[in-house]
Amino acid sequence: MSAVTDPTTTVAAPPTIAAASSVAAERRRHSFWNPPLAVGAAILAAMVVFVVVYPMISPHDPTEPNFAAGTFLGPSREHLLGTDNFGRDILTRLAYGGRIDLALASVATLITVLVGSAVGLATGYFGGWVDTLMMRLVDFTLTMPYLVLVIAIVAILGPGTLNILYAIILVGWVSYARIVRGETLVARRQEYVEAARVTGMTDRRVMLRHILPNVVTTAIVFATADLVLNILLASSLSFLGLGTQPPNPEWGLMVAEARDFFLKDWRLMTYPGLAVLVTGAALGLIGDGLAQTLRPKG
Amino acid sequence: MLAYIARRLVQMVPVLFLITLFVFFLVRLVPGDPALIMLGNRATEENIAKLRAHLGLDQPLWVQYGRFMGNLAHGDLGESVRRGEPVTGIIRDRLPPTLFLVGYALLLSTVISVPLATLGALHRERWPDQAVRVFALVALAMPTYWIGMMLLQTFAVKLKAFPVAGYGETLPEHLHSLFLPALALALGIASVLTRSLRNALLETMAADHVRTARAKGLRSRKVFTWHVMRNSLLSTVTILGINLAFLIGGTTIIETIFGIPGLGQLIVRSIFDRDYPIIQGVTLAFGVLVMLVNLLTDLSYAALDPRISYQ
């Protein structure tokens, strides 16, 4: 695409379609991966493999107390990160806990991106009173502290892992609606959209084929930041006792449970926090890398 | 200026309306009888009947909302289920620690991010800049509850350098007791500020007026302070305004960890107590707080940028 519209190429020699597409492909291959993106993706992939695979190969139970194994054990061949106050294998609990956090944050982000983008696209394209209502809703969610809003919704639904998911979805989609709406308002005035409309395309086709591909980039970059936020949010709520309940392992909950044992064994609190930190940093790198890659080249 | 403030206040009305609507429905969306939910399980039949009449639960919803707004106009948010005291009074008592904590965290985040951003911008793409970037990456991904707990356990419980809980009585005591919580709260926003300020500094340093200032022979320190930093702070104040709501939301976690008697701790505790009038009141208070803080942020642009006029 970019090769065709690039003025220098067209001035030099009008490239054939095949040549243009190969130049574009070449560019994409060169520019998609950059160091932050590659490093972030590698760390995230390792984390995903760990939480998916380790529970399958670990011989230990994540919830059942095992005092016979010994409590507060240091790292050993049997327990790679040692055991907690109930004699449970810490690494196994980290993997199971990560499943909850990663799955919850991914599902929440995916649904909020889809719903928010659809609403933003429609309201930005059609305008009208629905759009006005939408903007007031955006003002409202931007005014309320995110965490307070989610906590208030959990107050209605009651504590629990699934209820946290519902609460995040109820609040989260609004950000995407705002972003996509703003981009849609700009795109709607562009000539290529006008052209598509003049040729008699349906609104649906114009929105999905011509506007969406051009506005979705910002939403995707935002989603990586949002994924970090959702992991932090989900684990924070479990930390406060509003999400996943004991004895189930979850990163935030594991930090809370380690409170009384910090002086005896500081590692119980350190590991789950580091797990969140590493996952979040990996996603941060991916976000930076994506922003670099997807930034319009000029 | 006054006209601008007045117009901004008017613009706040629709959002305020939505907040009251949300707070109003908060109790009514919980499955069950709102009067019973608000009074708790130990309430007598008589009290429940009284509250039912007071709320007008047999009336249509819009009449109930009218009553709710009428009570709100008189500062009446109902009574706490747990303590039987008016919610408004409890919130008034709980507000100062939260405000102090948020202000303190803002101060610390500025103290952290201005030098770091300067360092990064002056050594662009060299190792100090990379180190600043790593800090920003780590500080953003670090869970507030985790760093809060680690700071508390290490410096308060183990080394006993800070009190384990509380808010203190005097200003020096506040500053001492709230140092760790404010630091934990400040790190996330310091990351955002550092990144934004570093980029703004680099952009301004490349601008024409900075080159002119240098060319006319101003000392580089003076150029940096008056021509670069001042102009760069403006865009950073905008970022700060956007992130303040997050900072204020973080008080729920930090106040719970550090036992600070503020609004954040109150709302978390009230969820376990199922003290819905308090949850309603604190939610409303947080919303109004953010709105006022946003207004303050907008007004502070004027101090930084004389070009902005308020008409």
pLDDT at A29: 56
Please determine, for residue A162, whether its predicted confidence score (pLDDT) is greater than 50.
yes
Q: What percent of chain B has pLDDT over 70?
A: 97
Global pTM reads: 0.88
Q: Which chain A residues are closer than 8 Å to B157 by Cβ?
A: 262-263
pLDDT at B190: 94
Under an 8 A CB cutoff, do A155 and B246 touch?
no
**A180-209 confidence digits (pLDDT tens):** 998 898 888 888 888 888 888 888 888 888
Q: How much is the ipTM here?
A: 0.88
**A41-100 confidence digits (pLDDT tens):** 999 999 999 999 999 999 999 988 989 888 898 898 888 899 999 999 999 999 999 999
pLDDT at A32: 77
> For residue B308, what pLDDT band results from cuts at 50, 70 and 90?
low
pLDDT at A220: 86
Torsion of CA A54, A55, A57, A60, to 10 degrees: 120
* Average pLDDT score over chain A: 86
pLDDT at A151: 92
Q: Which chain A residues are closer than 8 Å to B140 by Cβ?
A: 228, 280, 284
Residue B239 touches partner A, C-beta closer than 8 Å: no
**B92-124 confidence digits (pLDDT tens):** 999 999 999 999 999 999 999 999 999 999 998
Nearest to A98 by CA among A49, A139, A167, A162: A49
**A263-274 confidence digits (pLDDT tens):** 889 999 999 999
Tell me the residue type at A111: I
Taken as a whole, chain A contains a residue count of: 298
Under an 8 A CB cutoff, do A269 and B256 touch?
no
Phi, psi of A101 (to 5 degrees): -65, -45
Q: How far is A281 from chain B (nearest CA, A)?
A: 5
Q: Which chain A residues are closer than 8 Å to B253 by Cβ?
A: 147, 236, 239-240
Please determine, for residue A16, whether its predicted confidence score (pLDDT) is greater than 50.
no
Task: Compute the C-alpha angle A61/A247/B141, nearest 5°.
Answer: 95
Burial class, A174, CB count within 10 angstroms (exposed 0-12 / middle 13-18 / buried 19+) = buried
More confident site: B94 or B305? B94
Please determine, for residue A17, whether its predicted confidence score (pLDDT) is greater than 70.
no
Of B14, B153, B283, the CB nearest to A152: B283
Spatial CB neighbours of B38, under 8 Å, sequence gap ≥ 6: B27, B51, B55, B78, B81, B276, B277
The single-letter DSSP state of residue A207 is I
> For residue A7, what pLDDT band results from cuts at 50, 70 and 90?
very low
For B149, which residue in chain A has the nearest alpha carbon?
A: A259
Please determine, for residue B2, whether its predicted confidence score (pLDDT) is greater than 90.
no
> For residue A24, what pLDDT band results from cuts at 50, 70 and 90?
low
> For residue A8, what pLDDT band results from cuts at 50, 70 and 90?
very low
Q: Which chain A residues are closer than 8 Å to B149 by Cβ?
A: 255-256, 258-259, 262, 269, 273
One DSSP character per residue, A65-91 reads --GGG-SS----SSSTT-B-TTS-BHH
More confident site: B17 or B30? B17
